[in-house]
Amino acid sequence: MPGATVEETGREVTNMCGIVGYTGPREAGPVLMDGLRRLEYRGYDSAGIALVTENGDLFVEKRAGKVAVLQDALGADTPRAGVGLGHTRWATHGRPSDLNAHPHSDCTGRISVVHNGIVENFRELRDELAAKGHVLASETDTEVVAHLVEDAYRGDLADAVRAALRRLEGAYALVVMHRDEPDRLVGARLNAPLLVGLGDGESFLASDASALVAYTKRVIFLADGDVADLRPGTATITDIAGKPVDRPIDVIPWSAEAAEKGGYAHFMLKEIHEQPAALRSAMAGRVRGDNVCIEEIDALRDRFINVSRVELIACGTAYYASLVGAQLFQDWLGVPARANVASEFRYSPPPLDARTLVVAVTQSGETADTIAAARLARERGSMVIAVTNTVGSAITREAHASVFLQAGPEVAVAATKTFVTQVVTLVMLAADIAQQLGRRTKAEEDELVRALRALPEAAERAIELAAVTEEMASRYAEAAGFMYIGRAFGYPAALEGALKIKEISYLHAEGYAAGELKHGPISLLDADVPLVAVATRSPVYDKLISNLMEGKARDARVLAVATEGDKQIEQLATDVCWVPDTLDPLSTILAVIPLQLFAYYVAVARGRDVDQPRNLAKSVTVE
């Protein structure tokens, strides 16, 4: 959840963060700290908790830095309490500090608030509150929420929160607690994720299910505009006016252990090794017999015949996966298709109408730019299909159909298994629609099904073969930068490989379509800037080899990802990472695996925080 400046003088908002709240019979402090540790991938610039103690006092502790810094400050003396809330923060503007860390309180010291999002009318509200005598101590927009609740409080916290929310403009996921109502939490969401957890005589609020799954799997995904009033074991959901609304209870499909490291040094390494299983899960129930069939789109099937154009919208890693999808939609459906950077889509949108299929790809389902682009497309009459890993996420409410990755939890900030499952899901989606429309032959479908069935085992083999990247990385870790190149389906793999090494090692890297190398970027190549080439078997292999030789002629070391058995590449490359042969449209998946591991081992060699790289967080839920 990115931040945004709300005042030129440096006041800032706090976003891209983790929220957890608890009310029930357990000791709240340990529950909150456990939740914050599980949510730290969402933000790690500062952290804090607030408790209503058994003596009726409001206890607040917050610190700049990671959750461990907060834990050190708390020591073993966390007060006994049955209700509390916590927050771990990722700031995009301004430096983290103890003062700016959440929770924030009102003038009376009775109310505590944690918040993700942006209060767009912050300045107006701050000036109004100051005129009434309120003193705002921090440099965040969140603090105005505490003071608005204070102003509106007449003995009922939920009523006061709803009154405060009616004054806010922007986006929020927030939780509020009052010292005088010691078993109660009130949460609300608008364009930022928040869910309720229901246990046996206890209730939870969190921005991500990973904070709750160790305690309960029964959750309610709040919709935009919902206000959740929690007491131990119960949750009442209303709209902002106080009208009750019904929300279904869902069951989280994975265990707490799935979100643990499981003996691996880092979550990223664990999640790379989980990719074969994630691919199997993504294809489960979708590759049946000799067909590819995605049941989630069944309700839309009578509309596909009218599709004249396909627009994919996504950000970051999901955008690179969408490049594969766009090529396949165009090749297999025979209509124009392209991948769009979602953050630019609304500002220069293509023609959108009822004949446009829009595929929105987002791991979290909460990416603000992608949600806004999908909403625009739907408003203009386009059919919208969401591809996401998160059941109940905001994107699912903007789409006519949702296709889930089924990849399980991904904790490391740098995406790995969600990238490969995005690619394979887009392959299946394009194949299903094309087959329904009669655009692909039975022989082509059979060939794809065979390749899909073999893919998880091929991914396992790719991981085994990529063991050489650990030794390789030690020889490349001090490079001045990297140039990644690929063609056709190798191009998205090159882009994703370059992104991975940038994200976690902090080394500069560029990803280019290989033919563009001689149009400028080649000037960067020398002995200190290696060339990383995705050179797997493909119809454009010979062209790629020519580009590789251009780099070699400039004294650049060449690290190639190549198909097993390729004798030619051994003569040209300094180092080779082998991957099994597969069908060309699936080659992106196998080619990216050694690039992920190479980036991981380079980052480890450079002493980087692999799972929580600086300046980054897992999902971006405010524009």
Give the residue numbers marked as catalytic. 17, 618
Integer Cα distance of 485 and 497 in angstroms: 9
Integer Cα distance of 402 and 380 in angstroms: 19
Closest CA to 391 of 258, 285, 253: 253
Return phi, psi of residue 39, to 5°.
-95, 0
Ramachandran bin of 365, using left for φ above 0, alpha for ψ from -120 to 50, beta for the remaining angles: left
> Are 110 and 179 in contact, with CB atoms under 8 Å apart?
yes
Q: How far are the Cα atoms of 72, 120, 259 from residue 172, in angstroms, in the given order?
A: 29, 10, 26
User: DSSP characters for 78-144?
Assistant: PPPEEEEEEEEEE-SSS---TTTSSPEE-TTS-EEEEEEEEETTHHHHHHHHHHTT----SSBSTHH
Contacts of 131 (CB under 8 A, 6+ apart): none
Burial 352-383 (b: 16+ CB within 10 A, else e): beeebbbbbbbbbbbbbbbbbbbbbbbeeebb
Integer Cα distance of 411 and 112 in angstroms: 28
- What secondary structure letter does DSSP report for 278? H
Integer Cα distance of 386 and 384 in angstroms: 7
CB atoms within 10 A of CB 513: 16
> Are 343 and 309 in contact, with CB atoms under 8 Å apart?
no
